[in-house]
């Protein structure tokens, strides 16, 4: 079973183009489960871990998204990263364009400034009505390898971004035992796969809808085009509503509510395939219904880029053989993340 990332990307684009997006409704109370990891984080008690894992197992299989509370990241830090996101996007365009993403003269791809109206991240025929600043971590790629503005251009910006990236990466690592137990594995199962994880942090601005695009009015645009993430998990921090997900149970699109001091978390294609389709990878897109500027900071978290993800032992058996080849994140790189 060989994996062709370009074929996979083409399949995802074709699938997303077929989705009916004409009706969006508000979420009912249980549409996006709320999972509180505070009791487990505070005590380290295995009973609390397993209690949270029961809730996560339901969310992974039924929804593909959940609201994470009790995460213990300081609210001052989450406020700081949203504030720095706003500061960055308020800069003159010429300043931001000095660190363009995929600069041919920069040795690391996928980092820097992505301007409004791009057709990638995710790659789709319609333009994405947002702008973003991206950094990433990989084997041999630390924060120094990323593109940064001069300190004089935006004092304190890099310091806050690096602090937040470290904190959210630590949070994602703390959640690994929860995912393992939710999938009927030992709490330490995922540790070898995440010794040097690949991650990407995206600081996104969605302008007011009236200013979203210079495209022709009849062309449909999105803040982030409809897609599924390719991640193990994604942790989204946002300052307002705008994320829309597909409810498999209700068979309709729902607007995800934003809870105070929470993250919206979803599983992606790699975890779905790693789990032999036990876990959902749920379609979603982003828009800006706020009437003003909207900012969000998704964190895309993956195993070590070269780690071979063989079908999880709890997710296959004699009557349920593995459906996907053993694959690493790097082998899957024909597809990239969005919101």
Q: Which phi and psi angles does 285 have, rounded to 5°?
A: -150, 170
- The answer, yes or no, to whether residue 31 has pLDDT greater than 90, is yes
Cα–Cα distance for residue pair 184/57, rounded to 1 Å: 9
Q: Provide the b/e sequence for 247-267 (b: ≥16 CB within 10 Å).
A: beeeeebbbbbbeeebbbbbb
Region 298-308: mean pLDDT is: 97
pLDDT of residue 122: 59
Please state, rounded to an integer, the average pLDDT across all residues of the chain.
Answer: 90
Q: Place 7 in a pLDDT band, splitting at 50, 70 and 90.
A: low
Cα–Cα distance for residue pair 321/293, rounded to 1 Å: 48
Region 221-227: mean pLDDT is: 83
Region 310-336: mean pLDDT is: 88
Share of the chain above pLDDT 70, in %: 87
Q: Which of 181-195, 204-218, 252-266, 303-317 has the lowest mean pLDDT?
A: 204-218
Cα–Cα distance for residue pair 253/178, rounded to 1 Å: 28
Region 37-65: mean pLDDT is: 98
Copy the structure tokens of residue 74.
């300081």
Model pLDDT for residues 260-286, shown as the tens digit of each residue? 999 999 999 999 999 999 999 999 999
Q: Place 15 in a pLDDT band, splitting at 50, 70 and 90.
A: low
Bin 78: left if φ > 0, else alpha if -120 < ψ < 50, else beta. Answer: alpha
- The answer, yes or no, to whether residue 4 has pLDDT greater than 60, is no
Q: Which of 119-128, 277-286, 321-330 has the lowest mean pLDDT?
A: 119-128
pLDDT of residue 219: 46
pLDDT of residue 125: 63
pLDDT of residue 213: 43
Q: Place 220 in a pLDDT band, splitting at 50, 70 and 90.
A: low
Cα–Cα distance for residue pair 192/174, rounded to 1 Å: 14
Which helix H or strand E contains 300, and what residues bound it?
Answer: strand 294-302
- The answer, yes or no, to whether residue 2 has pLDDT greater than 80, is no
- The answer, yes or no, to whether residue 3 has pLDDT greater than 80, is no
- The answer, yes or no, to whether residue 224 has pLDDT greater than 80, is yes
Region 244-263: mean pLDDT is: 96
pLDDT of residue 10: 63
pTM here is 0.91
Domains in the chain: ranges and CATH: 5-15+23-332 (2.60.120.330)
Provide, for the chain, the percentages of residues in helix, strand and coil under a 3-state DSSP scheme, each rounded to the nearest 5: 30, 20, 45
pLDDT of residue 103: 93
Q: Place 214 in a pLDDT band, splitting at 50, 70 and 90.
A: very low
Region 108-117: mean pLDDT is: 93
Share of the chain above pLDDT 90, in %: 80
């Amino acid at each position: 079973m060989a994996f062709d990332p370009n074929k996979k990307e083409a399949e995802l684009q074709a699938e997303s183009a077929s989705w009916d997006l004409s009706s969006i409704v508000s979420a009912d109370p249980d549409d996006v489960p709320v999972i509180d990891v505070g009791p487990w984080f505070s005590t380290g008690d295995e009973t609390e871990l397993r209690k949270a894992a029961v809730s996560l197992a339901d969310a992974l299989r039924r929804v593909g998204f959940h609201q994470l509370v009790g995460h213990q990241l300081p609210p001052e830090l989450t406020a700081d990263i949203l504030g720095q996101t706003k500061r960055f996007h308020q800069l003159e365009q010429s300043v931001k364009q000095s660190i363009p993403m995929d600069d041919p003269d920069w040795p690391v791809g996928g980092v820097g400034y992505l301007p409004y109206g791009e057709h990638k991240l995710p790659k789709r025929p319609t333009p994405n009505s947002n702008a973003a600043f991206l950094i990433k971590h990989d084997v041999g790629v630390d924060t120094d390898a990323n593109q940064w503005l001069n300190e004089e251009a935006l004092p304190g910006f890099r310091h806050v971004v690096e602090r937040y990236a470290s904190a959210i990466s630590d949070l994602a690592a703390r959640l690994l035992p929860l995912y393992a137990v939710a999938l009927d594995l030992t709490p330490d199962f995922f540790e070898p796969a995440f010794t040097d994880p690949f991650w990407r942090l995206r600081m996104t601005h969605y302008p007011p809808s009236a200013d979203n695009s210079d495209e022709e009015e009849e062309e449909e645009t999105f803040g982030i085009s409809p897609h599924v993430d390719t991640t193990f998990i994604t942790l989204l921090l946002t300052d307002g509503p705008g994320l829309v997900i597909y409810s498999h149970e209700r068979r309709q699109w729902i607007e995800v509510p934003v809870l105070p001091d929470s993250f919206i978390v979803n599983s992606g294609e790699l975890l779905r395939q790693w789990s032999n389709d036990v876990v959902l990878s749920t379609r979603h897109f982003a828009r800006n219904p706020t009437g003003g500027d909207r900012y969000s900071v998704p964190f895309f978290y993956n195993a070590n880029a070269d780690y071979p993800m063989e079908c999880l032992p709890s997710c296959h058996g004699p009557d349920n053989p593995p459906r996907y080849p053993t694959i690493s994140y790097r082998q899957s790189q024909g597809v990239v993340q969005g919101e």
